[in-house]
Amino acid sequence: MKNILAVLLVFFAIDTQAQILNPVKWSYASKKINDKEAVIFLKATIQPGWNIYSQYVEDGGPVPTSFKFVPAKAYSLTGKTIEPKPLSKFEKTFNMNVSYFHNSVVFQQKVKLNAKETVVKGTLEYMACNDKQCLPPKEVEFSIVVK
């Protein structure tokens, strides 16, 4: 009886793991503009049917995508993180127009460099939704080398 219970628990655990949704993959890059400036690229690749949201979402809507950079002597931020023009639509779930991205989106952050080799670290937070459900907001750490 204990063996049967153990086997059932293993199958349940495997089934539960298979149901974890992760419709957004993040990748990172950097490009030096000159010896003192660079641009950091944070790219979200989004599975078909899913969206993530703009940094600029009104209260009462989905969780906006946001970026927090760890302060460091090797760099400083220049301006705000920029995004391409998002799509916009009325979403019944939030009873409002929301700005969103699907397929992929690249956010960019300019940095002033104070060292030859710099590592830009931080966290980003985003929320993914499709036409049936929204996943809880997810926080992701990043570390981007600028050479």
Q: Which residue has the higher pLDDT, 55 or 6?
A: 55
Q: Which of the four pLDDT bands, split at 50, 70 and 90, describes residue 15?
A: very low
Distance of CA 122 to the CA centre of its chain: 11
Do you know the residue count of the chain?
A: 147
For the segment 83-115, what is each residue's pLDDT rounded down to a tens digit?
999 999 998 888 999 999 999 999 999 999 999
**For 22-146, CATH number?**
2.60.40.1250
For the stretch 27-64, pLDDT in tens is: 999 999 999 999 999 999 999 999 999 999 999 999 99
pLDDT band for 6, please (50, 70, 90 cuts): very low
Beta strands in 1-135 (DSSP E): 24-34, 37-46, 51-53, 66-69, 75-82, 87-91, 96-101, 104-113, 118-126, 128-129
Per-residue model confidence (pLDDT) at position 14: 42
Residue 130 sits at φ, ψ, to 5 deg, of -125, -165
Could you state, in order of their start, the residue ranges of all structural domains in the chain? 22-146
